[in-house]
Structure 1
């Protein structure tokens, strides 16, 4: 049985655009900031995450602000929860306008390529690459039901073949994470081809260095999740003549 709770909202949930954001589990996370921004723009937003109690708490906060939201359990590495979430969206709305693949894992800055723990590398690939691939495939029919289908893959410049992977600052560090983001970028191009001829636009977005993990001290140099979310929402709300199969940060194209 699907484990979900739907919050009352200020307008009927079947009116307007419907967006789904994966990996929403922390109030200081990028996913929560993206969900709030999309809901503020008028979308009904489905917040999803591995731990429904945490995601539900965040959805309750947005509902208290008068925003149209609901919470559903979705683990992008668990096919059963993906299928259940698809069924929830199908029966509740019948279509999906925006899919933001935000769930991420395997940030292995402490590893180097030739001595890496392959189990950790597999985690990075499962969450950052296979998870979005499976999720996009599962929601494909619902995205095609929209006249404004948008897929946004949250990527990283660390995976850029002409930037991050050749950066002397990164070198051979962070192998699982950076290579998984390279694979996600490649998936973005393949997805754009798969949806060619439809209204679905698919792009990757690097949010930039974002202060989402204060325990690592990243808040000292990074920008806020709210600031980084704007570039994600830009890609999620592109017009029908917008780009597809490209890589951006803050609306500016990045090299693959």
Structure 2
């Protein structure tokens, strides 16, 4: 059965590939982008492959943008089956916890955590209308406390917070909505760089599985469809 799936940050990288794989499977994909031109380009690239998506503008760090997006979705859709929180920034390369500027730290956490939390809260009424509502948070092994290293303090802390939110949401929504985090691994994208060992196809695979597979866990952190340590 076709699902209605929202993918944030769907115009490039892992988000784009998630949209591509989901559309290939026949799902109704709502691709969101912050930049209209980049969003349209992504949609056109998918159309060239014979894949249809619904393009919506969304900046998860902007309250008004979230409000407009929610109004549009409520008008056009009776429910949302899956929210994939993929939109994120990584802008603290070269910094560590001793020297990162606080405004850079705050900007990163605003996008990677607060924006996700606000959007999730706003979209929950429509997700709750699904008979199999799901939330998939695109996290990172860099946010795993069990193997925490140095550097990238804003990015790491934002992903630690996202993983905590995943567990809290899974508990608060138990029996209503399934919530998981996943780590795509180090992927060859604009964020991951050309030297990353993983293809974008492999990086997107677990998110697509969590969005569509009939039997999935709840409240877990996964990589390659396997539960990993927080």
Provide the TM-score with structure 2 as the length reference.
0.95
Task: Select 1:34's aligned residue among 1, 18, 39.
Answer: 18
Name the counterpart of 1:10. Answer: none
- Measure, in 1, the Cα distance between the counterparts of 2:220 and 2:185: 16
CA-to-aligned-CA distance 1:133-184 (integer Å, 9 cap, x gap): 0111010000011112111101011111111x1xxxx32x111100110000
Contact 1:56 1:70 in 2 (8 A): no
Contact 1:150 1:237 in 2 (8 A): no
The number of residue pairs the alignment matches comes to 230
Task: Select 1:212's aligned residue among 189, 199, 204.
Answer: 189
Q: Which runs of 5+ in 2 are unaligned?
A: none
State the Cα RMSD in Å: 1.6
Deviation beyond 4 Å, 4+ runs, structure 1: none
Name the counterpart of 1:153. Answer: 137
2:94 is the counterpart of 1:110: yes
Name the counterpart of 2:199. Answer: 224
1:192-203 map, 5 Å = 192-198=170-176, 200-203=177-180
- Measure, in 2, the Cα distance between the counterparts of 1:143 and 1:230: 22
1:78-97 map, 5 Å = 78-97=62-81
1:32-181 map, 5 Å = 32-163=16-147, 165=148, 170-171=149-150, 173-181=151-159
Larger CA Rg, structure 1 vs 2: 1
CA-to-aligned-CA distance 1:80-104 (integer Å, 9 cap, x gap): 1112111222221211011111111
Task: Select 1:250's aligned residue among 211, 216, 224.
Answer: 224
